Amino acid sequence: MTSTLLSLGHGYSARALARRLLPQGWTVLGTTRDPGKADALRAEGVEPIAWDRAAVAEALGRATHLLVSAGPDADGDPSLRLCRDAIAARAPALDWAGYLSTTGVYGDHGGDWVDEDTPLTPGTRRGQWRLQAETDWRAVPGLPLHIFRLAGIYGPGRGPFEKVRNGTARRIVKPGQVFSRIHVEDIAQVLEASIRKPAPGSAYNLCDDDPAPPQDVLLHAAELLDVAPPPEIAFDAAEISPMARSFYAENKRVSNRRIKDELGVQLRYPDYRAGLRALLDEEQG
């Protein structure tokens, strides 16, 4: 039987997973709210599915695997709003379901380490929405659910080089602040490893080995480009958006031990230095 992945909210990370699965003979169905993107999906080998209750319900009937990338809002999870009953009806027939959450569900830990057993105490509105979405997905009866808590995502088209080149990058310094991050290709390989070794009910942190201050990442990008680094700006003096400021309100180091111990994952990009070097090499082709 052909394996078929239905991707609800077929975005950056889901596209990376599709690139791994399609050459293996998988069928990938990806939802889109924009009919204008259908041809682009087809060009990638993905069958476009309209963000419509009937269309998604029909696609669910063909799916053996389900990936949920669409993020929640103040009204809850959009996929569950659209078709919770259809998902619940199909749940027992699915081999695997994955929900992409964020490490924001852990809240602030003053720079200390957190793992999947750390209590979930989100301090931001977005983190609280994510925790509620995790809870709501866990409540779908019979769903073989796996939760993936993603750190800051980077990869092709989402690296720091363009801003460093054009002079818009800012090295905002908040003493003691670190962020965890993950290359999109490592997200894809973790998802594939989980599909190969399902463990319903599990949660996994997806991040690299090196939580680091954001200013260090920009400094390294400038060094790779052989340009002057952006000047440092004290956090208290920085003019940044409320959303950006909220990211700095939480400070933690996220452990990725479980993806290694339980899924056997070896990260392709274990730190930002390896990831940025690879991105620049790819750019320069």
Query: Which of 137, 147, 136, 265 has the alpha carbon at shortest distance from 203?
Result: 147
- Each residue's pLDDT tens digit, 181-195: 999 999 999 999 999
Write the CA distances from 147 to 110, 160, 175, 261, integer angstroms.
Answer: 24, 28, 32, 16
Residue 64: phi, psi to the nearest 5? -105, -20
pLDDT (average), residues 158-173: 92
Domain annotation covers residue 261: yes
Domain limits for position 126: 4-153+182-207+255-268
- Rounded-to-integer distance, Cα 97 and Cα 147, Å: 9
Domain annotation covers residue 137: yes
Domain annotation covers residue 167: no
CATH number of the domain encompassing residue 118: 3.40.50.720
- Rounded-to-integer distance, Cα 184 and Cα 267, Å: 11
Distance from first CA to last CA of the chain, Å, rounded? 38
β-pair partners for 48:
30
- Each residue's pLDDT tens digit, 63-98: 999 999 999 999 999 999 999 999 999 999 999 999
pTM above 0.95, yes or no: yes
Taking the CB of residue 54, how many other CB atoms lie within 10 A of it? 10
Domain annotation covers residue 84: yes
Answer yes or no: is pLDDT of 1 > 80.
no
Q: At what angle do helices 78-90 and 53-62 cross, to 10 degrees?
A: 40
- Give the mean pLDDT of the chain: 96
Confidence of residue 158 (pLDDT cuts 50, 70, 90): very high
Domain annotation covers residue 224: no
More confident residue, 243 or 137: 137
Structural domain tally of the chain? 1
Answer yes or no: is pLDDT of 272 > 70.
yes
- Each residue's pLDDT tens digit, 3-20: 999 999 999 999 999 999
Q: What is the pLDDT of residue 247?
A: 86
Exposure letters 187-198 (e unless 16+ CB within 10 A, then b): bbbbbbbbbeeb
